[in-house]
Amino acid sequence: MKKALMVLCSASFLFGAGFPSKQIRGTYVEARSADVFVGPCFANSEVEMAGNLAVMGWKIEKGTWEGVSLDGLGVVGVVKASATLGDVHHTAYPVKSVLIIDENATPEQRLALKSFAQRMSKDLLSDVVRIDYKPVTLTVEDNNVHTATAKLQAGALAAIQTRGIRKADQVCSHEDVWYPPLTEVDHAMPAYALAHNYKGDALGTTWSSPEKASAFVANFHLSE
């Protein structure tokens, strides 16, 4: 009996070692052309008028997707919607999007990064009109999303830079998170966008929308 238990334990160990759970984790940042941390009066002044443009980026710290290791790689989604993203009263679709995939990724990793970004963003990245391969970096101050201080760079095409929201940024004194993040996250901090831009030519428009409380910095953790 004792010998049988030892064999069973050994088999369980080998099975666990040979078939690890498929988990992926990392950091995320987004910015939009409308405030996300805002008072109702200011939010109502932007809805249907702004907020249809966004940049979102993921940096995979560790993990696999569809059996492919994505450790250290990044992917960025750029979105042009038909209306304000997150408006519960009106649909933002149809949505056109661009993917910017880490140029360091292998062909196999590039496919996995595309699949990962589309899964995380639900339908926002379903209609991809172009894929670019550029250097993608995402750094978060002190590796702590609570600081809300992050910098995303996707070649010369897209960028976000954020800092934490300060009391001086608040106008109404009763601001709150008006829109949730555009993607699945574990924990998100609203942030102030010092920079938010897209300079590509695939969406028929470019933009620069800085100096707004329009960003989130977050962690994500997902089991495939």
DSSP per-residue string spanning 68-135: EE-TT-EEEEEEE-SS-TT-TTS---S-EEEEEEETTS-HHHHHHHHHHHHHHTTTTTSSEEEEEEE-
Peptide bond preceding 107: is omega within 30 degrees of 0, i.e. cis?
A: no
Domain that holds residue 78: 23-223
* Average pLDDT across the chain, whole number: 88
Q: What integer is the mean pLDDT of 165-181? A: 82
48 belongs to a structural domain: yes
Whether the pLDDT of residue 11 is over 70: the answer is no
Number of domains forming the structure of the chain? 1
98 belongs to a structural domain: yes
Q: What percent of the chain has pLDDT over 90?
A: 72
Among 29-33, 98-102, 151-155, 175-179, name the one with the lowest average pLDDT: 175-179
Query: For position 6, what pLDDT does the model report?
Result: 39
3 belongs to a structural domain: no
- What 3-state DSSP class applies to 186? coil
Query: For position 43, what pLDDT does the model report?
Result: 63
